[in-house]
Structure formats: C-alpha cells, structure tokens
Structure 1
Amino acid sequence: MTSEELHEQMIAAMKAKDKTRLSIIRQVIGEVKNIEVNERRDATETDVDNMIKRLIKQTNETLEMSIKAANNQERTDTLTEQVKILESLLPEQVTGDALIALIEQTIAELGATSKKDMGRVMGALTKATGGNFDKPMAAKEVGARLI
C-alpha cells in the first residue's frame, strides 16, 4: 500500500464516519511520516507494508494480554477489530494452490533437491511475494518436497 492509497483510505473512513478505521489509518500515516522524517526519504510500499506488519504484531501481543487478563471484553473486541483493519491494509497473502504452484516453480528454478536448499527456496519465495505468503504452510510444503 502506498502513502497515496493510505490518504484515500483515510478520506473514505472520514466520509463513512468510521472512527475506529480512521484512527488506525491515522496511526499508520503517522508511522509513515516518522520513516520519512527520520530517514530523510520517501517511504516505499515495502516500508509501509513492513510497518503495518509490525503494528499487527504489536496489536496482537496486546490482544493476547487482554484475552489472558479477561477483565475488559470491550477492549478485547476493539483490539480484534483493529487487527482486522490493519490486515485489510496489507496486500492479499499467497495461500493454497497458488502458493503450492509457486513453491514447485521455485524449487524447479533453483534446482533444489535436499533439505539444505530449504533456506534458498524460502528466501526466493519471500523475494517473489514480498513476504506476503503463508510461511508455516510454505515451510511444510517445501520440507515435504525436499529430501
């Protein structure tokens, strides 16, 4: 997702009067501005995606603690909604048959035959998809195909 797309999402959230979505998008835009100011460069699409993934991880950790505490259901519901909104901002992950086809193609291209090649295959998958794939499923499938 680019900075321009984030601004369009923010405007749409304002028009829809969706306060939760607007709050999350503003948080993401603030993080993008931090990247641009601190590193004195424009944030790339990869920067934005990585930052959103980091926010998802942080929100999930907070959500897990809230679930364990089990004393504020409203906060737990809000955090769950925030995670869903953040996930919707990321590009769709490669899963299922598309992922299996990509794994087979990558193994063939690299000529991978043994478990020693698993790191190269996973690295190539990450590069090909920009890290947007189901990593546990991919690791299982790659491991099953390499001897």
Structure 2
Amino acid sequence: MKKILVLFVFVAASFGVQAQKTNIAHINTQELLSSMPAMIEAQKKLTQEEESYKAQFAGVYKEYDNKVTEYKNLPATTTKEEVVKKEQELMALQQNIRDAEKAAGQELQKKQQEMLTPVMESARVAIQKVARAQGYTFVMDTTPGGMVIVANGKDLMEDVKKELGF
C-alpha cells in the first residue's frame, strides 16, 4: 500500500511539473478582429457593396410590383391566352429576381472572403508571434459561445493589438 501511495505522489508531482511547462494564455479573437482597423474598413466596404445591390434591386422589385398590379387589374375581357402569358411573364421575372439575388449573394460572399481572409490571417500571425515571444505554448480563444472557460491566464489582447499597430 505504501508503494502505491509513493507511486501516486510521484506521478502527481510529475504531472504538476509537466503542467507548469505548458503555459496557456487566452484571447477573444472576435473582439480582436472587430477592433482591428483593417476589419472595420473591410466591413464598411462590404456594407457599401450590399447597399449598392439593394439599390439595384429596388428598381427590379418595383417593376415586379407593377407587373403584379397589371395582372390583378386585367380587364374581364382578357382572353385566357393573355392571362397565361402574363402569368408566365410574372413567373419568369420572379425566377430572374431569385437568380440575380443568388448571384449577388454569392458575389458578396466572395468579396467578404477576399477582404476578411487577409485580416484574419494577420491576426493569427500576430497572436502566434506574441505568444511565442512571451513563451506561451497554447492560446485559447475565449470568444463568447466557445468551449473555453478561463479562470486565470494571460490575456494577449493588448499585446496583439500593439503587434498589429493599433
């Protein structure tokens, strides 16, 4: 029994020494990214792009509404063929709108990725650089909704911001 207790103490002590070698810091990457000037500028540009698409679609929506109103106000003397033709026009215009909205969404998503990927990469590189310089082995992301709970540990936010130049 005494041997088991001694072995247990030795193993526990070695784990304690190992844990001390593993330095852990934390940073809220979402907070970092949202405060980066490059991210703020990219978000501004993306918002402008989105507003531009909305303005372009406003005219198309108005045209569609006008066609629907025309269809609803067809005179009673309208032939069945004319009614079918108007319905087909409306369905075609509706499909064109859906296709254009999908294309615009894909284009916005592509631009978002093109603009945000370099910003996120620069943040990642800065976090790694600061963590290595300060001797941290791991950096946990404490973004809300994440799986990490931090009781103690070094927050790298200010050091990373300094590394990024803001």
Give the number of the structure whose alpha-carbon radius of gyration is greater. Answer: 2
Give TM-score scaled by structure 2 length: 0.27
Using CA pairs under 8 Å that are at least 6 residues apart, name the structure with larger relative contact order, 1 or 2.
2
Which has the larger strand fraction? 2
